[in-house]
Amino acid sequence: MRTIQDYRSAYADGAATPSSAIADVYGRIAAYGDAAVFIALRPIEAALADARALEGQGPQGRPLYGIPVAVKDNIDVAGLPTTAGCADFAYTPEVDAIVVARLRAAGAIIIGKTNLDQFATGLVGVRSPYGVPRNTIDPALAPGGSSSGSGVAVAAGLVPVALGTDTAGSGRVPAGLNAIVGLKPSLGALPTTGVVPACRSLDCVSVFAHSVADAWELFSAMAGPDAADPYSRQTLSAPARPADAPLRVGVPDAASRRFGGDALSEAAFDAALSAARAAGAALVPIDLTPFYATAALLYDGPWVAERYAAIRPFIEAQPEALLPITHGIIAGATRFSAADAFAGLYRLAELKAATSPVWADIDTLMVPTFPRPRTLADLEADPLGPNAELGTYTNFVNLLDLCALAVPGPARTDGWPAGVTFIGPAGHDADIADIAGRLFGTPGAASLPAPSAHGAVAPIELVVVGAHLSGLALNHELTSRGGRLLRAGQTTSDYRLFALAGGPPHRPGLLRVAEGAGRPIETEVWALEPQAFASFVAAVPSPLSIGTVRLADGSRPKGFLVEVEATHDAADISHFGGWRSFCAAPPQAQA
């Protein structure tokens, strides 16, 4: 089970319970065998106790009922040490961070604390005394930081969703380097009460997931001001732009494209641009010069002093407790004066004024998540240069009070990742989630659009096997309802396919049989909004019905099944492997 919908489906049809799901998570973590992903796990007995309590209460009013969540180890979880990647700094909080408390209230089950670049200082994922989590695409690559453990935990399928933080790109770079979704909300949308600050005025809690819809659900469950956080604010809203409005996507102009000389990454971004254009987006070249000038302020300007202020008593008392590279970066703040800080604020105001007119001409800015992947060997040779390069398209976002969402884009031809990030003004989180969900997909429920408001229900997956397949006679019944094709696949080998009597249009019937007594049948999985799904199901004629279908990828969406009585005078066509193959066969083979 990789997505929130996978868990919901398994709970709904009795294939799993929160207790069995949690036991499975701990088993997968042990089998994965990477001790650097988690700094601390909750005792399994504690997580199972939470699961059993949920089972006694039921899912009503708990939108994240039984969903396992991992938490970056600079975010407080009651009873577990918060280390921020530094053992000497560790303390054990008595209460959860407000975002964690809200997840628990929504029915989520916290699994443990994930690894990070020490004090959230880095975009590489290698600056931790607790080891380096393996990149899930290629172990030779950096996993990305600072939220390395959370990104890897989701990408490896250990948990469906995880919390990170993001000041300079830490919620986006690990997502891009591991080909998952990373949501960096508007500043203040998620309270940081109970989060160890990096730059408190710029910090965000971020979300890692396999789909835009899952990231948005987690965000929605946590969003809203908190009286204890003066930086928190109300930003959650429905998409502002009409769904049928022309989509204007800003992209780096020719002079603003930065790929570190890597032709494969540049070609992958060009493929992403082509995909966006093919999906109906109008591409608008944007000069990113003032954005890059803003990014330079984060580490070359006085904002590094805010990192020093965040841990000042600790770094002054125990400087030797920090990793040398972390200490060197944060201690560099001492070269800035109060006058430098004001000069930086004045310069930032100028750059905000220079960049803000851009948003009148575009609905979102689409950039590469990073110029190119960087390897562990690169960082061994140069610990600073590759880190700075990875932040090329991320460092300016929080300084300019923008929101961002990283999603996988077309991969490089060598298989290495090449993600894209959608950026928008503060408060436009729903807009960029909606745009990203429509233009780019990810595994599982990837192309589902984000829910448009707090508490909204995610779209529903529907398995089709016959005339509703793309391009066939009844496919219009899906597309006219706004259906979106998510993926093609197969059932498990527990089904048989029959050509039913009657028509036109001629239709098949999918029948579940004894385990292993059937064969895999070709399918497509579509997504429908709940209201559209309801109207579609209401029109399904007998002897067909909608039930739970077991797919070979482990998911269990709803889909077409047939009543057994209708198969008595129907031809068993299972050996064709699917309706398309049957329809393409000559008449004598169909007989």
Residues serving a catalytic function are 72, 146, 170
| Ramachandran sector of residue 496 (left: φ over 0; alpha: ψ -120 to 50; beta: rest) | beta
Tokens of 56: 């006694």
Separation of alpha carbons 432 and 542, rounded Å: 41
Find out whether 216 and 180 touch, Cβ atoms under 8 Å.
Answer: no
Sign for the CA dihedral angle at 179, 412, 125, 200 comes to negative
Find out whether 469 and 579 touch, Cβ atoms under 8 Å.
Answer: yes
What separation in angstroms does the CA of 437 have from each of 64, 212, 434, 442, 446? 20, 6, 5, 9, 7
Helix 98-105, helix 212-222: angle, nearest 10: 110
Q: Are strands 558-562 and 460-464 parallel, antiparallel or unpaired?
A: parallel
Backbone angles phi, psi at 324, to 5 degrees: -55, -40
Sign for the CA dihedral angle at 510, 512, 513, 517 comes to positive
Tokens of 4: 């929130």
Residue 518 three-state SS: coil
Backbone angles phi, psi at 271, to 5 degrees: -65, -35
Backbone angles phi, psi at 36, to 5 degrees: -85, -5
Residue 159's nearest CA partner among 9, 12, 27, 13 is 27
Tokens of 443: 């595994």
Q: Which burial class, exposed, middle or buried, applies to 137 when counting CB atoms under 10 A from its CB (0-12, 13-18, 19+)?
A: middle
Separation of alpha carbons 150 and 145, rounded Å: 9
User: What is the DSSP code string of 111-136?
Assistant: EEEE--SGGG--SSS---TT--PPPS
Tokens of 460: 């529903």
Separation of alpha carbons 80 and 92, rounded Å: 6
CB atoms inside a 10 Å sphere around CB 506: 15
Q: Which helix (H) or strand (E) holds 329?
A: helix 324-331
Q: Which residue's structure tokens are 């739970």?
A: 548
Separation of alpha carbons 59 and 70, rounded Å: 20
Three-state helix/strand/coil letters over 368-421: ECCCCCCEHHHHHHCCCHHHHHHCCCCCHHHHCCEEEEEECCCCCCCCCCCCEE
Question: Cα angle at 382 between 377 and 386, to 5 degrees?
Answer: 85
